[in-house]
Amino acid sequence: MSIRFDAADAHWRVAPLPGLSAAQKDWLTRGGSLTAHLRALGPVAVRVTRECVALPWADECAALGITPRAPVWVREVVLSVNGVPFVAAHSVTPHAASVGVWQATRRLRTRPLAELLYSDSSVARSALVSRKVTARHPLYRLAACEIGDVSPQVLLARRSVFERHRAPLMVTECMLPALWAHLAVSSELRSSHEGVASLAHAAHPRMREHGRSLEHTASRAHSAPRSSDGRGR
């Protein structure tokens, strides 16, 4: 389904910046529901931090097709996994759309926005774009509230525009340091387990091969008794 809106600009780009890790590039470009991807890491909780009528950020107007002083409906939430904040999300739609096409966004409470976006076949999505966010961007200040004194110099974020009946809704998701730390630990654990398994295989190659050979011989020498209806047990 085609879409009239584009989330890209001079700073928000489809191709992730060079120098990012494989995990960072993966999470910045993953399609589908980010909430669903986070659930693969553990139980996800949604905490609403702000819902109100406001003015759009400077880099949101063109993507939404509105003027800088046009009112918008803003919803900001934090997505936590096992109680740890992993993502700070900011969604915005023109005020008229928030009481019309996108009015359901006002009634979500602590339910994830994904429940609306991925259950309606009339919703189309633009390409995902991403960028590094510094302290000069309002998204950084939003995320900094969740990471306290360990704020890095830059954060990574992605965004896309969803369109329903010609009305846009843009969702911006800022990945917090705890997400990257969790993924790094998980990767190290997987590498460690794979290393142990590889060493075990190398230490007992004959035993493993002999075991397979005996199994194969036994299965040929002693066929399983068959029941009266012609099937094995």
Q: Which residues are annotated binding-site positions for substrate?
A: 75, 113, 173
Rounded CA-CA distance 84/43 in Å is 10
Q: Which residues contact 141 (CB under 8 A, 6 or more apart)?
A: 135
Rounded CA-CA distance 224/15 in Å is 58
Rounded CA-CA distance 98/11 in Å is 27
Residues across the chain = 233
Q: Which residues contact 224 (CB under 8 A, 6 or more apart)?
A: 232, 233
* 3-class secondary-structure state, position 182: helix
List residues forming the annotated binding site: 75, 113, 173
Give me 196's structure tokens.
Answer: 């142990």
Axis-axis angle for helices 177-203, 22-29 (nearest 10): 120
Rounded CA-CA distance 209/216 in Å is 11
